[in-house]
Chains A and B, each alone.
Chain A
Amino acid sequence: MKKHHPGRWGFVFILPWLIGFLLFTAGPMIASLVLSFTRYDLNTIHFIGTKNYERILFDEPLFWKSLQVTVTYAFFSVPLGIAGSLGLALMLNQKVAGERLFRTLFYLPSLVPSVASALLWSWIFNADNGLLNYTLGLFGWGGVEWLADEKYTLGAFVVMSLWGIGGGRMIIFLAGLQGISESYYEAARLDGASAWRQFRNVTLPLLSPVMFFNLILGVIGAFQVFTQAYIMTAGGPNNATLFYALSIFRNAFEYFKLGKASALAWVLFLILLAITGIQFWASRRWVHYEGEAKS
């Protein structure tokens, strides 16, 4: 009698994904790791050891500039985005007439392709006749060259990132909110907890795993910003929006320095790995899993 191997069937079922992963993710990753130790211009290839990494870390001011731009952007856009998505999810979790309609309406902007939204925001930020300066002008402010003055450009990108607060992140928060049992709130109310106390001591702790998930994805997403900078400012003015991913793209496809671009990509991978590791380490202090005793 044949022996039954349930694991084998599982393997068969995930095989299509596995093949895709090996061919389109793991394969290119290994290839880029190898390329990062070469001088490769799409034509000739030479092994050069760690020269690409030395160049990036010790003799490439634009590497540090792009890292500074990206970290600054992540520092502001991720917390603001998470707070915005959570706030929106809390509002849309209310039992009011037309709640489904509201949820759909707030989700809609995230369906706009990033290229289209970048163009839309270019018009909004137009210093001469844009909506933002027009609105500010009503209060006596305005006249700011949002996308041409390096003092404001990154701020404009942070504001633009809030366009996505109604997207997938909000849906995840909404699902998390709906997963919190009403009994916790009932118990809190019986103890006389105010709405704020309920939010602070019931909602936030029970939502912390969801928030942690969104935080990790948000930071990774912030480090991958490309389309908006490529379309709206091309990294300018004066490299004020030279995001890390744009820098990789330029080195690879504008300057044909594919070895250096691969090294930049691996440095980014290591940075994200370190940040994610720190987040996991720190999460022990603030992320609470339901039913899990905290030490």
Chain B
Amino acid sequence: MKQALAFAGILIAALAASNCTTQTDRRIQLRYMAWGNVEQLALEQELVDRFNRKNPDINVRLFKVPQSAYGNKSIVMFASRTSPDVVRVDHFNFPQLADRNYFRDLSEFTETDPEFKAEEFFPLAMQENYSNGKLQALNVLFGGGVMIYNKSLLAKAGLADPYELSKKGEWTTDRALEYGIKLTEFDSNGRPSQFGLGFPNMPFYIGLMYGFGANLLNEDLSRSAMDTPEAAQALQWVADLRWKHRVCPSPAQGANAAFGFETGRLAMEFNYIGVTSRYREKIKDFEWDICPLPDGPKGKSLFVKGNQLVMYRETKHPEAAWRLMKFIVSEEAERFLYIEQRRQSPTRIKLAQSSEFLEPKAPPFNMPAVTESVKSGKVLPIGPRWPEVVTVVGSELDGLFAGRDRDAKVVLQRAHKAVNKLLSEDPGL
């Protein structure tokens, strides 16, 4: 009995203490939702801690959701009006969510806050934040696709450095294919022991379409643009890497970690700069660096893509949420994320062009390749119906990229029809 009374006493005291804490904590409570691997989430937490230290009147809590569940979780939270105040959204989902009016128009802050100057950011980074003519986000983890290459393998094969070629405008799709062929090796049983190129999955093949003068959708994203000879030429080039020239891993070989770039058995790959933090840690026995995506016959293949930092429309603390958002794209935060930690490219022009970003002490050294992308890349054709479009296109291209269909023109005609049918239908049905 005594024990029960003592336990009840402790319980009451604990409850009272917790109540006191709540009553005395007069700080504005904010929630910030993000996803990422362990390293990325540690950086997000560091940013939140720095913000909390600088803003004693606000307490931000990082709300972590595993990447696999992030999309659904955020949708359900927006729809059920339980969303955190500030949320990081992948650009692939941003226009679709923005179309549902879940985000606050940020122009009320950007136009009145003298500390925020839109002209300090890359125009492309700002462009991605607009939906339906309204500024609904700030850009984070922004960047473009690059090629990462094994310098040691290229030197051993006697091939010129692709970054140097790109500076002279000689790093082209023809040259990349030539490199792929020269760098692919087979063992005595005829099985590939080393691949020259990684496969350019979505959205890298869209970048290559740009280089060939093509696009997936038209300018206002209302119809397919895949019925052009240029589009067929671009995707034929991509498919042929795998099935005609056999310089890329097949889907199964690509899923095999034995052909990961870190192993030294893949000479060049299409990827984002964000992956290089892992490479810096893992790769010890060969030299590597980055270069831009190869130019196509009609121009550059560069594209950009970021994540959007949005403010939930019904947040109770819009001013505090804006302060947090402004901090995450501040010089201090961008210097930490993109120069010290090198997660992506700064969205701030000054930082992206600074010597501390462009002349790092560790690989990759060719950082102007990243700046070139964010300066002159194209935004991806992502609109409110992107998830449906990419499913339809993906199911048609599956056959081409898996080697069952060999003629890109035929495949693209089917994809063109299917996408146009989709986009002409009532979006709600």
Q: Which residues of A come within 8 Å of B, CB atoms?
A: 39-43, 46, 48, 51-52, 55, 122, 126-130, 145, 147-150, 235-239, 250, 253-257, 259-260
Contacts and interface: CB of A to CB of B under 8 A. Distances in A.
Given A150-B404, A257-B428, A42 B252 contact: no
B182 to A, nearest CB: 23
B250 A128 contact: yes
Interface in B393-413: 394-396, 398-399, 402, 404
A237 B75 contact: no
Interface stretch (B131-139, B151-159, B253-261, B277-285): B253-261
B387 A255 contact: yes
Contacts of A42: 75, 78-79, 100
Contacts of A127: 250-253
A145 B252 contact: yes
Given A52-B429, A148-B252, A238 B100 contact: no
Nearest to A253: B72
A250 B252 contact: no
A128 B429 CA distance: 41
Going nearest first, the 4 A-B pairs with the smallest beta carbon separation are A127-B252, A42-B79, A237-B398, A39-B428
Contacts of B40: none
Interface of B: 71-72, 75, 78-79, 96, 100-102, 250-253, 255-256, 258, 385, 387-388, 391, 394-396, 398-399, 402, 404, 426, 428-429
Nearest to A151: B404
A43 B102 CA distance: 9
B252 A236 contact: no
A236 B400 CA distance: 13
Contacts of B101: 43
A255 B79 CA distance: 14
A53 to B, nearest CB: 11
A52 B398 CA distance: 28
Contacts of B78: 42
Given A145-B251, A149-B404, A39 B399 contact: no
29 contacts: A39-B426, A39-B429, A40-B428, A42-B75, A42-B78, A42-B100, A46-B428, A48-B429, A52-B429, A55-B429, A128-B253, A128-B256, A129-B256, A130-B252, A145-B402, A147-B252, A149-B402, A237-B395, A237-B402, A238-B396, A238-B399, A239-B395, A253-B71, A254-B388, A255-B385, A255-B387, A255-B388, A256-B96, A260-B429
B391 A129 contact: no
Contact of A250 (B391, B396, B404, B429): B391
Contact of B428 (A128, A150, A236, A259): A259
Main secondary structure of the interface of B (DSSP, over half): helix
Contacts of B428: 39-41, 46, 257, 259-260
A255 B429 CA distance: 10
Contacts of A55: 429
Contacts of A41: 100, 428
Given A122-B255, A145-B402, 13 more contacts: A42-B75, A43-B79, A48-B429, A52-B429, A128-B250, A128-B256, A128-B258, A145-B251, A147-B252, A150-B399, A238-B398, A250-B391, A260-B428
Contact of A145 (B250, B391, B395, B399): B250
Main secondary structure of the interface of A (DSSP, over half): loop
B408 to A, nearest CB: 15
Nearest to A144: B252
B117 to A, nearest CB: 33
Contacts of A235: 391, 395
Contacts of A128: 250, 252-253, 255-256, 258
Contacts of B251: 127, 145, 148
A52 B428 CA distance: 9
A253 B395 CA distance: 19
Contacts of A39: 426, 428-429
B99 to A, nearest CB: 9
Identify which of A52, A130, A238, A257 gathers the most chain B CB atoms within 10 Å of its CB.
A238
B429 A237 contact: no
B208 to A, nearest CB: 21
Contacts of B71: 253-254
B394 A236 contact: yes
A53 B255 CA distance: 39
Contacts of A237: 395, 398-399, 402
Contacts of B79: 42-43
A257 B395 contact: no
B401 to A, nearest CB: 9
Contacts of A250: 391
Identify which of A42, A55, A150 gathers the most chain B CB atoms within 10 Å of its CB.
A42
B251 to A, nearest CB: 4
